[in-house]
Structure 1
Amino acid sequence: MDDIVKQALAKWPNVPHCYGWLGLDARGNWYLRDDRTQAAGPFPASKGSLLQHEKLIDFIQRNYESDERGQWFFQNGPQRVYVALEAAPWVWRVSEDLSVRSHTGQAVEPSACLIDEEGRLYLVTPLGLGLVHTQDMGLAAEAVEQGRWTPEPVRAADLPARFGHVMTPGP
């Protein structure tokens, strides 16, 4: 967490939390969801505006965490902005050397590999559960073929309870 965020939390500890305004899609993209977007339906059916400002995205990703209930949020100064998830709290990018990084840029080492009923591939890491980015499925297939990862079948609906994350946070 950024020092400036920690200072803001200390200065204003009782700022209300924000729900429904931020979403993370299955490709690691962040979406801002205004009142009109929220009224149109839940994330990801109603996504909102794709964030494209690199410094804002970097700030969100440096201050992205989960609470004790498994709800993921972005600590925006003194305000906690909870994140609606399309697939999982993390989106993994696989490199040519088959190393793995999170959508926030953190290097991780997978400990398990899961495949759901729709063929989506998930990796379990010390950071938690994440979905392999669709553009990296060829590289992921190489890791499976080399025996680095052995996919275990799962139902996507069972993943939040199994890994302790909340798809749509609420108060």
Structure 2
Amino acid sequence: MDDWVLNALKRWPNVPALFGWLGLDRRGRWLVQGETISHPRIIEVINRNYAADQHGRWYFQNGPQRGYMQLESTPYILRVADDGERLMTHTALVVEQTRAAYLDEEGALVLVTEHGPGEISGTDLAWVLDRMCIDGQPVDDDALAAALELPSGTTTKITIALGASQLPLHRLDFADAPAMLGYERTPTPREGEKVATRAMD
């Protein structure tokens, strides 16, 4: 996090947290009260000061005030980097490690990375599909359809080659992902937590 944020936290350690104002959509766009944030400098500040607490609630640390994010899907949205070889988070972090891969009932793909769980951006799904195989053979539409029909929690026959990793692809329903992967889509206050009624200026 930025030094100014850490210094503000030391100076004002007990500022009430903000719930329900901020969000992240499935295109990797930050939202405030449902409206897309478009100012580049604001986006950069949020990117640098985005983290999760011990309960799996993701937030933007805005100086001394924590603003919890409502997630449309996962804490990160993953995109193919400019080199065409690697993935990056929507916050511009390079993905070096992929630990697990999941397919939901609608065909969305989620990877567990060293940064946290991230859904592959819809515009980059083809990049991942090209890296899927079954017993060394490319995956066709029938094989993908069969995988989609499997119940949540099962392992498909498909593997994904990502760097040095060859990951088995698991089926995981969209609704099951937060509990399985350890995050909250709609963060709520815990007992005794102070809650702000508006954002700090």
**TM over 0.5, yes or no?**
yes
Partner of 2:17: 17
> What's the CA shift for 1:110?
1.5
Determine if the alignment matches structure 1 residue 49 to structure 2 residue 35.
yes
Partner amino acid, structure 2, of 1:132: I
What TM-score comes out, normalization by structure 1 length?
Answer: 0.87
> What's the CA shift for 1:128?
1.7
Gaps of 5+ in 2: 139-159, 162-166, 190-201
Rg larger in 1 or in 2?
A: 2
Find 1:140's aligned residue among 128, 144, 147.
128
> What's the CA shift for 1:77?
0.2
> What's the CA shift for 1:111?
2.0
> What's the CA shift for 1:74?
0.3
Determine if the alignment matches structure 1 residue 76 to structure 2 residue 53.
no
- Structure 2 distance, partners of 1:14, 1:152, is 41
> What's the CA shift for 1:150?
4.0
Partner amino acid, structure 1, of 2:25: D
SS of the residue 1:107 aligns to: coil
Partner of 1:43: none
- Structure 2 distance, partners of 1:64, 1:117, is 29
> What's the CA shift for 1:136?
0.5
Partner amino acid, structure 2, of 1:71: R
- Structure 2 distance, partners of 1:14, 1:68, is 17
RMSD of the alignment, in Å? 1.4
CA contact under 8 A between 1:26 and 1:133: conserved in structure 2? yes
Q: Between Structure 1 and Structure 2, which shows a larger proportion of helix residues?
A: 1
- Structure 1 distance, partners of 2:179, 2:124, is 26
SS of the residue 1:83 aligns to: strand
Determine if the alignment matches structure 1 residue 8 to structure 2 residue 8.
yes
> What's the CA shift for 1:126?
1.4
- Structure 1 distance, partners of 2:54, 2:79, is 26
CA contact under 8 A between 1:98 and 1:143: conserved in structure 2? no
Partner amino acid, structure 1, of 2:90: H
Find 2:71's aligned residue among 69, 78, 85.
85
Partner of 1:101: 88
> What's the CA shift for 1:97?
3.2
Determine if the alignment matches structure 1 residue 67 to structure 2 residue 85.
no
- Give the length in aligned residue pairs: 157
Q: How high is the sequence identity, in percent, across the aligned residues? A: 42
CA contact under 8 A between 1:24 and 1:86: conserved in structure 2? yes
What TM-score comes out, normalization by structure 2 length?
Answer: 0.75
Determine if the alignment matches structure 1 residue 154 to structure 2 residue 141.
no
Partner of 1:123: 111
**Once the two structures are superposed, what CA deviation does each residue of 1:85-140 show, in whole Å capped at 9, x if it has no partner?**
00011100123533111111111122221100010011111112110001111111
SS of the residue 2:131 aligns to: helix
- Structure 1 distance, partners of 2:132, 2:70, is 30
Moved segments of 4+, more than 2 Å = 95-98
